[in-house]
Amino acid sequence: MTRQDTKVRRRIGIFGWGVVAPRSPDVAAFRHNLACSDSWLEPFEDFGPNNFLVGNPAFDFEQYHQWIDERFPPSRFSQLQSKMGGPTLFAVGSFIQALDQNPGIEKALQEMGSYAHVYVGTGLGDLPTISKFSLAADRAQREWDAFWADPERCPARAAFDAGDSPPEISDQSPPRPDDAEVGHREEARRQWNSFWARQSSQLQEYLQQLREIENINVEGEVETGKASIIREKMKRCMQLRKDWQAPPEPWASISPNVLWNIHSAPATQISMLGKITGPSFAPVAACSTFGVALKLGMDSIENGEAEAVVIGATDPAPHPLIVGAFSAARVIASDGNVSKPLTGLRGTHVSGGSCVWIIGDFEKMTARGFEPIGMEPLAVGLSSDADHIITPSEKGPMDSIRSAIARSGAQPEQITTWDLHCTATPGDFLEVENARQLLPDSVLMTARKGTFGHGMGACGGWELTAQMLSCEEMMVPPTSLSRQELNPEIARIHQNFVFDEPVPLVAGYAGKLSMGVGGINSCVICRPWSLGDS
């Protein structure tokens, strides 16, 4: 027997959780809504009239105003509200919720120092913020180029219009916008103005004056000198624009909020607001993000590198870029009706929100007086298809399932409930077929994306939390699927699904599979605490 074989596995518990989801601003609402079989989806408004349904997260950051004011200067709340995008605010809200289950855990996380970590990732990133400021940058660039390309500020252009331009310039000039085909004139105008702006001698003079302003150095005491220089540069730049009657430079039209909302922002904001000084970063694994974050957190605890880890995933509210991309990938339903997994396989629905858990070393956390909630997470199996970007393979997900079951110590016949990744696409059939290669006929399967939609990274957390709540109440809440809607081909493989009525829970091990874009798979195996204590 090797030294590794004799190592005693650390038990891990969940000591707090928080949720932001459609119709559910918090865990209490999430729990309440699960009891109903209705779908939480609603029409998507941002394209104007269309046939898409989405899951808009129910969220009001004002709910956390007092919590933040009790810990930080009054300006902190407004700074967060003005600088941070939806994914970060959703994650912060979920984290604050997670602290409520075990009073005192906030202080404990701070006392742990480097042994408290934060692994909160994203499936999509803050695409709405990036889109907003990309459009602003594009508008600013067009206005800037048009200003300097004007013949009054571009002598080379004036000479060209007069037919007096040297060949080295006239031969390079793009076609006049009015000469382009009607559908291409906007892009032709962009190229035209961009070309002539680069020929503007007045723009070169303006940039030289700008360089002189930016060349001012910090003098004297660094901190006060730095602030003084920044103010002076801003003042002179504004005066320069006024003197030239120029629009703002395109680079001055881009908000620094682009930097504040990179993928690591939710994790770092949680670390700052929670005063958690251990490592923080953002795992990014598409639809498997939550499972990957859980795996990394469990590994850190089992290796003795952490006593507790804040893990989770967060994604933006539905946005035209996201809905449009899902539509172009042919994986989204667009007939104005709810597309339920395991039925017509017409496609999924985009959703946004977050899910954050606080997991910890069971022995150390209970010694501090904290009580675990939900079930005991035993193992996470990870794999990659290494095949197709969006169509799941058979081997990849099965590898993650086998790995998770083997690491958990469970036997397949001990698994009584299984939550499917099912996205209401043809992959549902293969997923059920694969699962039945390992799982018994008696296993009770759930598929919940017809209820709250597909929240990319966050959805795995919602589904796992729903599974945990089932164990707490010993009742599996209904889904939006009726028995009559079950796809006949899927019914031929398996029939024991949770439909639109709650089902008593048979105590046993629980499994959850997530399959992410790019072929990233995660499988989580949990068990009721009573089974581990017996």
**Closest to 289 in 3D by CA, of 308, 270, 312, 266:** 312
**Structure tokens that stand for 17 in this block:** 């959780």
Tell me what pLDDT residue 111 has. 98
87-117, pLDDT tens digit by residue? Answer: 999 999 999 999 999 999 999 999 999 999 9
**Closest to 237 in 3D by CA, of 224, 225, 246:** 246
Tell me what pLDDT residue 8 has. 66
| Least confident interval from 178-187, 299-308, 414-423, 437-446 | 178-187
Q: Which of 6-20, 216-230, 338-352 has the highest mean pLDDT?
A: 338-352
* Dihedral over alpha carbons 467, 470, 476, 480 (to 10 degrees): -50
Tell me what pLDDT residue 108 has. 98
Tell me what pLDDT residue 216 has. 82
The 10 Å Cβ neighbour count of residue 164 is 9
419-467, pLDDT tens digit by residue? Answer: 999 999 999 999 999 999 999 999 999 999 999 999 999 999 999 999 9
> Angle, nearest 10°, between helix axes 27-34 and 457-473?
70
Taking CA atoms, 293 is separated from 112, 459, 461, 515, 524, in Å, by: 20, 13, 10, 14, 11
- pLDDT over 90 at 1, yes or no: no
Tell me what pLDDT residue 292 has. 98
Tell me what pLDDT residue 230 has. 85
What is the domain partition of the chain in residue ranges? 12-126+261-533, 130-253
**Closest to 528 in 3D by CA, of 504, 496, 505, 498:** 505
DSSP 401: H
320-347, pLDDT tens digit by residue? Answer: 999 999 999 999 999 999 999 999 999 9
12-126+261-533: in CATH 3.40.47.10: yes
**Structure tokens that stand for 372 in this block:** 């675990």
User: In Å, how far from its chain's centre is CA 74?
Assistant: 28
- pLDDT over 70 at 301, yes or no: yes
The 10 Å Cβ neighbour count of residue 203 is 21
- Averaged pLDDT of the chain: 94
Tell me what pLDDT residue 6 has. 41
Tell me what pLDDT residue 226 has. 76
- pLDDT over 50 at 168, yes or no: yes
CA 448/CA 33 separation, integer angstroms: 12
Q: What is the mean pLDDT of residues 146-168?
A: 94
Tell me what pLDDT residue 534 has. 55
The 10 Å Cβ neighbour count of residue 5 is 6
Tell me what pLDDT residue 220 has. 66
Look up tokens 């030239």; give the residue. 244
Handedness of CA 140, 266, 281, 273 (dihedral sign): positive
Tell me what pLDDT residue 224 has. 66
Tell me what pLDDT residue 372 has. 97
Tell me what pLDDT residue 5 has. 41
386-403, pLDDT tens digit by residue? Answer: 999 988 889 999 999 999
- pLDDT over 60 at 215, yes or no: yes
